[in-house]
Amino acid sequence: MEPGTKTRSLVIAPQWIGDAVMTEPLMLRLHQRGERLSVGALPWVAPVYRAMPQVAEVIEFPFQHGGLQWQARRAMARQLRGRFDTAYVLPNSAKSALLPFLAGIRRRIGYHGEMRYGLLTQRLPNPPRDERPPMVGFYSALAGERGTEADRPRLLLPPAQIDAVLQAHGLARRGFHVFAPGAEFGSSKRWPPQHYAELAAGLALPVLLLGSGKEHALCEQIAQAAPGRCTNLAGKTALLDAFGLIAAAHSVVSNDSGLMHVAAAFGTPQVAVYGSTSPEHTPPLSDAATVLWLKRDTAYQPPLDCAPCFQRECPLGHNRCMVDIRPARVADVLATIA
């Protein structure tokens, strides 16, 4: 490589929005040491990297969840051949490491993952599940550096882009709340829709409901239970537009979800409701975030010995880890936000 020439690096992104947000400190480290970053991401994750100024290029992969999709990967590898010196493979699957291998990228770095001995040239050992570091540190280790407590993901959009989204919806900065009631993982992570509706009914500012098209019906249930208080935008906004609305909101209320991490990365005041998962592993990394988790509440009886269960649905059928966080408690937190 010629003196002064930047290392051309391809980053294979995770498949989930929240995980993608957690990679931002890694991107910053790589950028600061002089690497030119291109990120290969699935279409629903790609917008996260368009909100990271240190990323020079975002390449949308035409892949779907599941399946090897051999022909599509070979075709993409042909397009990428000769363009990169190094690849960082963030997912642990074998198929995610296949594309850099087929593209002939000389240095290919990732965790051991699913039997990837021939696909990667530098393999980090997988930490035991019970000793796995927080996600930011897990990804940052791929840069060969230890993460620190100061590593907090940050996303950024141009002010003009945010203003355009607000104008399109007739909104003012900090003049509305955002609720993100969905959770792709399963129902055990969702605060009950009737709780969201009760909370919305008692707030002075209007509420925007954000989520994917799959969550439109859930959001509509909330909107109908709080007449005139909510606008259901689930599945109706581009993800970058949703980011702009989150960045400009007075506050965000959400479950443990990808949009929760987006709100934290923009520094928007937020209330994050946890139940079946643990904020000790994937918290919203923001000083403006308040986490509500009954597992930590010594006054809550009987204790939640079952939490965190990390199950898609409550195995005991009551989901009281979420149900028993009352709307008034969330409202009390929102009332402290200026």
pLDDT in tens, 301-321: 999 999 999 999 999 989 999
Q: Output the six-digit token pair for 188.
A: 């055990």
Q: Output the six-digit token pair for 57.
A: 């290029």
Tokens 């520094």 appear where?
267
Is there a domain that residue 226 lies in?
yes
* pLDDT single digits (tens) 250-276: 999 999 999 999 999 999 999 999 999
313 shares a domain with 272: yes
CATH number for 182: 3.40.50.2000
- What is the model's pTM? 0.94
pLDDT given at position 280:
86
Name the residue range of residue 120's domain.
7-143
d(CA 164, CA 235): 19
Alpha carbons within 13 A on the beta-carbon side of 93: 13
The answer to whether the CB of 193 falls within 8 A of the CB of 273 is: no
24 shares a domain with 53: yes
Mean pLDDT for the stretch of residues 92-102: 93
d(CA 105, CA 40): 14
Whole-number Cα distances in Å, 249 to 177, 186, 242, 327: 6, 26, 11, 19
106 shares a domain with 209: no
Q: Output the six-digit token pair for 100.
A: 């850099």
188 shares a domain with 60: no
Angle in degrees, CA 205, 206, 210, rounded to 5: 130
175 shares a domain with 280: yes
172 shares a domain with 68: no
Mean pLDDT for the stretch of residues 213-226: 96
Share of the chain above pLDDT 70, in %: 99
* pLDDT single digits (tens) 167-204: 999 999 999 999 999 977 778 899 999 999 999 999 99
pLDDT given at position 257:
94
Of 309, 290, 277, 265, residue with least CA distance to 136: 265
